[in-house]
Structure 1
């Protein structure tokens, strides 16, 4: 029996070894659906469409973008988590937002670490701290001093509860010792309108969203939130350089497949998406949206998810935010 069992296991292993390359070579044989878990027009959607167009040219099959918005991205993500793990349904993931949702949503409908096979990182969009021009501060220490001296005068806007912009403000309060009140809006557009109007005086938002207003003088930039200065706002210092230790925040994006997707399929997707993100057309499209492309290995994508979940869970616990 032992010999028969050993022989059977050996034959199975050899069979799998032979199937894997064949599977990778055959895939894909039909169109692939890339689910974007937000409405059209946002950063996740734009990055997804850039990837879909470029990969379609490379693999000889269409990559079709399908928008499934709802529950701060969780509806679309849960749909992919339940899909067949065959490489034909993928998630254009907003990894930072999904990581936050795991700590802030009581029932997100998926487990970000267990229900997905990371394929690749796609890129990151930096954030900037901006204030209304009437605020007499040019640096973070000056803003902190003002906010502590007149706490009732300072609130911060965000694009919605549980967004990276919201959590950036909570992290700022925790690190700077301020008590900026949170004013949640339904998207960056309405928040930006009130910021420019002076109804709210402080905001963290993506660099592409704030840059035109900073250049026009209707908002004043205080800092960016990367570890290094942003290539899109190189003249503005980072929050870290102004004394906020480890204040590194960006909105990360990546492609995920359902857990159990065969490794040869994951590897092929990783290779093709990596080539797509390095293509001149994709680089130009990403630049226009303020996205820094960051293709990498599946292991690097998994490590980033671990890091984001650890960071935001710590912020959520430290600030006392409760799951909804």
Structure 2
């Protein structure tokens, strides 16, 4: 009888242990959620992150708090999330930098973009833009190329950081246009824009959303977008290929990820809230105003996208000669 009672007690304990976590997960979230944006405030990823976080807070009934952890081309913040407790309370605003380029830029990447994360939602894709300070003499890409060829290594360009998509955009431009410029990395687009607008650095490769207002206000002059089609928000700005840089195409994207091992039901709740956020008319209108193209895809499509992007960008990184080791 004692053995039977002991066995029943063990069985009941196991049943309770199984039920309690499940209930806790079904009640998710019961506390604020941290959304790590792996770039400085003021950039494109930060802009998208804050718009989505505010709307997700309403959907989830808990605050989604943005935590900017800039550094190492997005890898600092991404690594922190990959190592976080897989409970859904720490998530990442991932980008092409963290989930496509890092795998090729480093011989020993600090994380695996596929194995170390659970996909939540693919939010938007974003064109990049080549822009200059309005006092800079080049009015077009053709004039910029001519100026750079006449004065090799005399000019510098800014980006949101070493190993970022914008760094790669600049290196690919140098390779295809056969010109030289010195790269000046910043910890995010925000600080880079401040120096370009202020005239300390003449040239920038940036995400279109963070440069939209400075371009509209005349603080920057857009020379070309980096996608194969013109941006709807700036129909008069040519593409790089139209401007004579054959074979040029880069862009970026923003997506949400959780640490690997996050329970599926938690991921499902985060997915539902994220997709509701980008479907909200007010959020969608604001995103479209700054040139972001809404995707609104779930975990399966995002996972497939990440795997495809890792493969797609490996030869581009090699061709550009960009390495972070």
Change (3 A) 1:39 1:165: closer
Equivalence for 1:236? 237
**Contact 1:127 1:225 survives alignment (8 Å):** yes
* SS at structure 2 position matched to 1:242: coil
* SS at structure 1 position matched to 2:296: coil
Q: How does 1:12-27 map to 2 (within 5 A)?
A: 26-27=26-27
Distance in 2, Cα, partners of 1:59 & 1:23: 16
Q: How does 1:1-324 map to 2 (within 5 A)?
A: 26-31=26-31, 33-36=33-36, 37-105=38-106, 108-133=109-134, 137-189=138-190, 191-192=192-193, 194-196=195-197, 200-287=201-288, 289-324=290-325
Of 281-290 and 297-306, more deviation after overlay is shown by: 281-290
Distance in 2, Cα, partners of 1:164 & 1:210: 15
* SS at structure 2 position matched to 1:90: strand
Change (3 A) 1:276 1:49: same
Of 232-241 and 77-86, more deviation after overlay is shown by: 77-86
Residue 29 of structure 1: CA displacement?
4.7
Change (3 A) 1:159 1:237: same
Coordinate RMSD, CA, aligned: 3.2
Residues paired across the two proteins, number: 304
Residue 145 of structure 1: CA displacement?
3.6
Residue 85 of structure 1: CA displacement?
3.1
Of 119-128 and 300-309, more deviation after overlay is shown by: 300-309
Residue 70 of structure 1: CA displacement?
4.0
Unaligned runs of 5+ in 1: 1-18
Residue 108 of structure 1: CA displacement?
4.7
With the length of structure 1 as denominator, give the TM-score of the two structures: 0.78
Distance in 1, Cα, partners of 2:153 & 2:46: 37
Distance in 2, Cα, partners of 1:262 & 1:224: 40
Q: Deviations over 1:261-303 (max 9, x none)?
A: 3444433432331112111232244345543332112232123
Distance in 1, Cα, partners of 2:47 & 2:198: 28
Equivalence for 2:10? none
